[in-house]
Amino acid sequence: MKIEEIQDEIVEEFSMFDDWMQRYEYMIELGKSLPLIEEQYKTEDNIIKGCQSKVWVHAELKGDKLIFTADSDAIITKGIIAILIRAFSNQKPMDIIEANTDFIDKIGLKEHLSPTRANGLVSMIKQLKLYAVAYQTQLN
Amino acid sequence: MANGFTSILTKGDELLVSAMEHHSNIVPWQMLCERTGAILKVIPMNHEGELLIEEYTKLLSGNTKLVVCNHVSNALGTINPIESIISLAHEVGAAVLIDGAQAAPHIKIDVQKLNVDFYTVSAHKICGPTGVGMLFGKEEWLTKLPPYQGGGEMIAEVTFEKTTYAELPHKFEAGTPNICGGIAFGAALDYMNSVGFEAIAGYEKELLEYATKKLLAIEGLRIYGTSEHKTPVISFNIEGIHPYDIGTILDKLGIAVRTGHHCAQPVMDYFKIPGTVRASFSFYNTREEVDILVEGVKKAKQMLS
């Protein structure tokens, strides 16, 4: 699936819930399905700066596609990174670089996060895109 | 204060800070030590979140020039035995600065009785505005300390050859003061005094006991800061759940708590935790609000477990 299609799918899933509580519960569920980063990659270098809780992300190129794995010590944060990884993992670096991230606003995620968590979300997206840029350079 | 002490401390002098300080009562002293070559030593605490007075006594010596300690820990709520801390420091000739930011809203403070050299209060912690605070200092000490900022209003006479400084307190008040802040701070203190600190302390003690008992009934909940002497602050975690997660859910339920390291990372390191959820009560809180908090924590636990 293309990034855009996955994003639409996520937006649709979130629109089924009536209130924020259900959305949070769903986010917590998604956190549990997060493709976990291998312990060896849980290093200081792989911690995303700007998050209040610890978030580690690792990226690996398989063929021409970038695979992300991650983890966090906070479960809601895990849900957030799981949503992002679902949208961006197993995609070509160039597609990740060019991807629009409006779907975050459509889910209503940002408005339900505290300012520090919302900043963390922006840092996560930035980090995923930076990985894509780095691997795109390798592919060139 | 730390700027003022730059001209008083010299290499090898020692400065004691407690293990449960807010960063704002650690960092300026570290910077002071860097400037002067003085040595920073830490008064340790135990697992109840109480300072070890015996260890403190051992740390004191003729080299100790200054002891800085909070009256109440912002992260744990512990009320420190500052009477002993002050008198023991004075025995070796050291000055004592007490950070009263967290004590002022809860405890009646008598600086003369305490015989403290310096005592500080932030207005915004005691129903006052931000950007203004209070420093009490003994006259002998304030006379010794040099001005920390130069400018208007703090001078006696200025010529290009030499400037002489104004009398206390003006030598420390360069430029136009925060007039509005000062007036509002005064109004806040009048209000607090009209409520009465004895009444506040009595009511808050009951509220703290009630909240502590109800929160401890939640399985897996651990309170950090379990001294008998506490202001109504409850710092806690639930086993296996990150404090941010609990805070996020409570926030959505309209319950205001603080989560994180509370600008006291050494305290979190001591307990080996990333942070806590901290519920702080005041005289305007009610038992019903404690009940709402407890229900919220239960809900968060159920969602996050």
Average pLDDT of the residues of chain A: 90
Q: What is the mean pLDDT of residues B231-258?
A: 95
B27, B107, B126, B178 from B190: Cα distances, Å: 32, 15, 11, 18
Instruction: State both tokens at B66.
Output: 């200054």
**Does the distance separating the beta carbons of B248 and A114 come in below 8 Å?**
yes
pLDDT band, residue A122 (cuts 50/70/90): confident
How would residue A139 be classed by pLDDT, with cut points 50, 70 and 90?
confident
Please give the class, per CATH, of domain B197-304.
alpha beta
Distances in whole angstroms, Cα of residue B183 to Cα of each of A27, A43, A47, B178: 48, 52, 47, 9
Supply A58's token pair. Answer: 């690792």
Q: Encode pLDDT of B112-143 as tens digits.
A: 999 999 999 999 999 999 999 999 999 999 99
Residue A90 has pLDDT above 90, yes or no: yes
* pLDDT of the residue at A51: 66
Question: Cβ contacts (< 8 Å) between B298 and chain A: which residues?
Answer: none
Nearest alpha-carbon partner for B217 in B275, B280, B297, B281: B297
Split at pLDDT 50, 70, 90, the class of B62 is very high
Closest to B245 (Cβ–Cβ): which among A21, A54, A75? A75
pLDDT at A118: 79
Which residue from A minimizes the CA distance to B259?
A52
Q: Write out chain A residues lying below 8 Å of B274, CB-based.
A: 53-54, 73
Cβ neighbours of A140 (radius 10 Å): 7
Find the chain A residues whose C-beta atoms sit closer than 8 A to any C-beta of B: 20-21, 24-25, 28, 52-54, 73-77, 112-114, 117
Interface test with chain B among A32, A51, A52, by most B beta carbons within 10 Å: A52
B254 CB neighbours in chain A (<8 A) are none
Please say if the pLDDT value at position A124 is more than 70. Answer: yes
Closest-CA residue to A25 (of A88, A112, A116, A103): A112
Location of each CATH 3.90.1150.10 domain in chain B: 197-304
Judged against a pLDDT cut of 80, whether residue B66 lies above it is answered with: yes
The answer to whether residue A109 scores a pLDDT higher than 80 is no
Chain B residues with CB within 8 Å of chain A CB: 241-242, 244-245, 247-249, 251-252, 260, 274, 303-304
pLDDT for residue B152: 84
Question: Tell me, what DSSP letter sits at residue B220?
Answer: T
Give B165's DSSP letter.
Answer: E
Cβ distance B244 to A76 less than 8 Å, yes or no, reads yes
DSSP-based three-state secondary structure for A108:
coil
Contact by Cβ (8 Å): B104, B121: yes
User: Taking the model in full, what pTM does it have?
Assistant: 0.90
User: Which are the catalytic amino acids of A?
Assistant: 51
Nearest to B303 among A24, A73, A114 (CB): A24
Residue type, A69: T
Average pLDDT taken over every residue of chain B: 96
| Residue A106 confidence (pLDDT) above 90 | no
Here the CATH number for the domain that contains residue A46 is: 3.90.1010.10
What is the span of the domain harbouring residue A18?
3-139
Scanning every residue of chain B, which has its alpha carbon at the shortest distance from the alpha carbon of A72?
Answer: B242
**Per-residue pLDDT tens digits for B168-213:** 999 999 899 999 999 999 999 999 999 999 999 999 999 999 999 9
Share of chain B above pLDDT 90, in %: 90
Look up tokens 């915004």; give the residue: B124
Closest listed residue to residue B266, CA positions, set B68, B20, B17: B20
Q: What is the mean pLDDT of residues A120-133?
A: 92
Q: In percent, how much of chain B has pLDDT > 70?
A: 100
Please enumerate, as own/partner, the contacts of A104-107 that have beta carbons within 8 Å and a separation of 24 or more.
Answer: A106/A11, A106/A14, A107/A10, A107/A11, A107/A14, A107/A23, A107/A83
B24: closest CA of chain A, how far (Å):
20
Give the whole-angstrom CA distance, residue B244 versus residue B250. Answer: 10
Judging contacts by C-beta atoms under 8 Å, the chain A residues touching residue B247 are 114
Per-residue model confidence as pLDDT tens digits over A19-63: 888 989 999 999 998 999 999 999 888 888 766 788 999 999 999
pLDDT value for A50: 66
| CATH code that applies to domain B2-193 | 3.40.640.10
Nearest Cα residue in chain B from A79: B245
Could you give the CA distance from residue A122 to residue A125 in angstroms, rounded to a whole number?
5
Q: Are strands B118-122 and B95-99 parallel, antiparallel or unpaired?
A: parallel
How many domains does chain A contain in total?
A: 1
Closest CA to B303 of A138, A41, A14, A22: A22
Which residues are CB-neighbours of A83 under 8 A, at least 6 positions away?
A10, A27, A30, A107, A109
Distance CA B53, CA B88 (A): 9
| Amino acid type, B207 | L
Q: What is the per-residue pLDDT for A119?
A: 82
> What is the tens place of the pLDDT at every residue in B274-305?
999 999 999 999 999 999 999 999 999 999 98
Region(s) of chain B under CATH 3.40.640.10: 2-193
